[in-house]
């Protein structure tokens, strides 16, 4: 039987979705990227757009009929690939340099077939507030994993959306557009974690872009601060392998991260960071 719905492939649905709280939805794709849809009285805000496979716009419009604003936590293509379903995307300025760079030829095809491949970019910065009507979302700059990373704070539902800068399982500190020594990146990451800890009274849960949602903030924040400190001071111990979410225990064939090898994982409690030594 022919599948005419672009969101249904031979294996079933391309997207999953679930309601976290009234007006807050998580949408996931087959790579388990988490995108989030926050619905206000006037507008909805879509946080990240995945790799661009299928028709994300149809999924979003199946949830809300409010006009949608797109925002990216940072400029990696697994967060920006579906931007071209809409005419405009918000992001921090450094994300614009990488947001259209697909990781594979297949992703290039998805990108170029969108209705707005040349979507307009509007910059956001620290302290900006996006008013959705009865729901305000604040921008916090937290660049380390990527130069353009932002966290988004929804004080209405007390949720903090952290993109790739704070998640369970791993944070990758070797994928910046411009490489820096790990001690320097870890020091920046620690400053960002301390900044989020200072705002702890404003949220109850973390909503990352990969590897689990929602997360209890305190242990993750404390463990990442401890691990960043050890990395910044050059005393973090390398784990025996990088095995974990998306990483095999042994290096095999070419993969997305081949160019960055050798890679090392360090761990402290719930916090794990993969980096180039």
The residues that touch Zn ion, with contacts defined as CB under 5 A, are: 76, 164
Instruction: Please give the Cα distance from 277 to 264 (Å, whole number).
Output: 7
Contacts of 31 (CB under 8 A, 6+ apart): 50, 51, 78
Cβ distance to Zn ion smaller for residue 69 or 211: 211
Minimum CB separation of residue 58 from Zn ion in Å reads 25
Minimum CB separation of residue 95 from Zn ion in Å reads 10
Instruction: Please give the Cα distance from 220 to 155 (Å, whole number).
Output: 20
Instruction: Please give the Cα distance from 196 to 217 (Å, whole number).
Output: 9
DSSP label of 231: H
Minimum CB separation of residue 224 from Zn ion in Å reads 16
Minimum CB separation of residue 4 from Zn ion in Å reads 33
Cβ distance to Zn ion smaller for residue 40 or 50: 50
Cβ distance to Zn ion smaller for residue 135 or 146: 146
Cβ distance to Zn ion smaller for residue 138 or 164: 164
Note the helical H segments in the chain. 56-63, 77-80, 105-112, 182-198, 217-232
Among 148, 150, 162, 171, residue whose Cα is nearest residue 97: 148
Minimum CB separation of residue 163 from Zn ion in Å reads 7
φ and ψ at residue 214, rounded to 5 degrees: -95, 160
Cβ distance to Zn ion smaller for residue 164 or 228: 164
């Amino acid at each position: 039987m022919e599948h005419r719905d672009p969101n249904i492939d031979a294996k079933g649905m391309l997207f999953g979705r679930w309601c976290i709280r009234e007006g807050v939805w998580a949408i996931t794709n087959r790579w388990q990227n988490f995108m989030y849809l926050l619905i206000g009285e006037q507008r909805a805000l879509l946080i990240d757009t995945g790799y661009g496979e299928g028709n994300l716009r149809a999924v979003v419009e199946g949830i809300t009929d409010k006009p949608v604003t797109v925002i990216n936590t940072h400029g990696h293509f697994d967060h920006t690939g579906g931007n071209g379903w809409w005419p405009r995307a918000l992001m921090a300025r450094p994300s614009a340099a990488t947001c259209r760079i697909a990781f594979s030829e297949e992703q290039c095809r998805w990108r170029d077939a969108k209705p707005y491949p040349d979507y307009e970019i509007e910059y956001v910065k620290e302290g900006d507030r996006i008013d959705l009507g009865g729901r305000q979302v604040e921008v916090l700059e937290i660049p380390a994993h990527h130069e353009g990373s932002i966290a988004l704070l929804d004080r209405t539902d007390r949720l903090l959306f952290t993109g790739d800068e704070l998640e369970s399982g791993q944070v990758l500190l070797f994928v910046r557009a411009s490489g820096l020594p790990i001690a320097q990146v870890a020091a920046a990451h620690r400053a960002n974690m301390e900044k989020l800890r200072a705002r702890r009274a404003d949220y109850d849960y973390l909503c990352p872009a990969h590897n689990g949602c929602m997360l209890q903030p305190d242990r993750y924040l404390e463990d990442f601060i401890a691990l960043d400190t050890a990395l910044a001071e050059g005393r973090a111990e390398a784990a025996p392998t990088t095995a974990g979410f998306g990483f095999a225990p042994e290096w095999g064939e070419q993969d997305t991260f081949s160019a960055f090898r050798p890679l090392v994982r360090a761990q402290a409690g719930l916090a794990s960071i993969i980096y180039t030594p």
